[in-house]
C-alpha cells in the first residue's frame, strides 16, 4: 500500500499562499504516495478548486453535530457536501487549547464517520508523561475512549496519528525506534479491537517530520505515513516528503 502524507496547515496561509503552493505541488506530484491537505475551514473551497483530483482535501476539526444552532462550528455534513474527504480529530492543540478530551472526541468521530468522512484520530503523550513512563498506557486510554463503540470504522475511513506532543513544532523528532515502539503498540491494540482490519489500519507519525528524517521514519514497519505541520507549508518540502523533487 502507498504511504499517506497528510499536510496539516493549521491556522496558516493566505489565498496567495494557497495558489502558490498548488502551482508548484501540482507540477511535481507523481503519486508515489497519497497526499492529503487539511487547510483552515475558510480556505477549503479554494483548496478544492486549486488541487488536482489525486490530492484529497479535508479539515482540522469538525463538530459532533451535523447541523443546527451551534454558532461558529463546522458541520461534518457540510464538509462532506463540499466534497471534503477527511477530518483530523483530537490534535493535541485542540486538546490543549480547546478542552477536547478523548471522551468528547468519541462523539465527533462517530458523527464524522456516519457522515462519510475519513477520520485521522490523533493520540500522543506530553514530555512529563513520557518521562514518567506513562506513554503506552496513556495512548491506550486515548484509543479506548476515542474508539469505543465506533461500529462504522473500516480500514479505509479510520486512520490513527501518533504525535508525541513534545515533538510538535519543536524540531525534536521521536527517533525512528521510539516512534516504532509506540506504533507497534497501537498496531497490536488495533488488531485486538478490529480483528478483520486492524493490521491494515494506517498509523501515521507526526512531530517535526522533515525531508531529512522522513525516509528513516517511513522505513519502520508500522509507520504508514506522516502527519506534517511546518514542512507541509512549503510545496517543495511537502513534495520531498511525498518522494518527489
Catalytic residue among 100, 115, 163, 183: 163
For ligand 13P, which residue of 18, 37, 50, 168 counts as binding (CB under 6 A)?
168
Residue 2, φ and ψ in degrees, nearest 5: -65, 150
Active-site annotation holds for 115: no
58 part of the interface to ligand 13P, by CB under 6 A: no
Strand pairing class (118-123; 158-162): parallel
Cell numbers 516528503 correspond to 241
In residues, how long is the chain? 245
Assigned C-alpha cell, 66: 451535523
Integer Cα distance of 134 and 145 in angstroms:
16
Q: Is the four-CA dihedral 176, 181, 184, 189 of positive or negative sign?
A: negative
For residues 94 and 61, the answer to whether their CB atoms sit within 8 Å is yes
Please tell me whether residue 94 binds ligand 13P under the rule CB under 6 A: no
207 binds ligand 13P (CB under 6 A): yes
| Residue 45 lies near ligand 13P (rule: CB under 6 A) | no
Q: Give the phi and the psi of residue 100 in degrees, each rounded to 5.
A: -75, 140
Q: How many chain residues are in contact with ligand 13P, going by CB under 6 A?
A: 14
Of the listed pieces 21-29, 101-109, 135-143, 207-215, which binds ligand 13P according to CB under 6 A? 207-215
Least Cβ distance, residue 90 to ligand 13P (angstroms): 11
Which residues ranging from 208 to 237 are in contact with ligand 13P (CB under 6 A)?
208-209, 227-231
Site string for ligand 13P, 4-23 (x = CB under 6 A): ----x---------------
Our finding on whether 206 is near ligand 13P (CB under 6 A) is yes
Residue nearest to ligand 13P as judged by C-beta position: 229
The single-letter DSSP state of residue 220 is: S
- List Cα–Cα distances, 244 to 85, 122, 227, in angstroms: 23, 26, 17
Strand partners for 163: none
Query: Is 91 part of the annotated catalytic residue set?
Result: yes
**Which position among 81, 128, 132, 169 is part of the footprint of ligand 13P (CB under 6 A)?**
169
Lookup: cell for 3: 504511504
> Which residue numbers are catalytic?
91, 163
The residues binding ligand 13P (CB under 6 A) are: 8, 91, 163, 168-169, 206-209, 227-231
Amino acid at each position: 500500500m502507498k504511504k499517506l502524507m497528510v499536510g496539516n496547515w493549521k491556522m496558516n496561509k493566505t489565498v496567495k499562499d494557497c495558489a502558490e503552493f498548488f502551482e508548484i505541488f501540482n507540477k511535481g506530484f507523481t503519486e508515489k504516495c497519497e497526499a492529503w491537505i487539511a487547510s483552515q475551514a475558510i480556505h477549503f473551497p479554494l483548496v478544492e478548486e486549486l488541487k488536482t483530483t489525486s490530492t484529497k482535501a479535508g479539515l482540522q476539526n469538525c463538530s459532533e453535530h451535523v447541523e443546527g444552532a451551534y454558532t461558529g462550528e463546522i458541520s461534518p455534513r457540510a464538509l462532506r457536501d463540499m466534497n471534503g474527504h477527511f477530518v483530523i480529530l483530537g490534535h493535541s492543540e485542540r486538546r490543549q487549547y480547546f478542552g477536547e478530551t478523548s471522551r468528547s472526541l468519541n462523539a465527533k468521530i462517530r458523527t464524522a464517520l456516519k457522515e462519510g468522512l475519513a477520520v485521522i484520530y490523533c493520540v500522543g503523550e506530553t514530555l512529563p508523561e513520557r518521562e514518567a513512563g506513562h506513554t503506552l498506557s496513556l495512548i491506550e486510554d486515548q484509543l479506548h475512549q476515542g474508539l469505543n463503540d465506533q461500529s462504522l470504522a473500516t480500514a479505509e475511513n479510520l486512520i490513527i496519528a501518533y504525535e508525541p506532543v513534545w515533538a510538535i513544532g519543536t524540531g525534536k523528532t521521536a527517533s525512528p525506534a521510539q516512534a516504532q515502539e509506540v506504533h507497534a503498540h497501537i498496531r497490536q491494540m488495533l488488531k485486538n479491537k478490529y480483528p478483520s482490519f486492524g493490521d491494515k489500519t494506517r498509523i501515521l507519525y507526526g512531530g517535526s517530520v522533515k525531508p531529512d528524517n522522513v525516509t528513516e521514519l517511513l522505513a519502520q514497519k508500522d509507520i504508514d505515513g506522516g502527519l506534517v505541520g511546518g514542512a507541509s507549508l512549503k510545496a517543495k518540502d511537502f513534495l520531498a516528503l511525498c518522494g518527489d523533487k
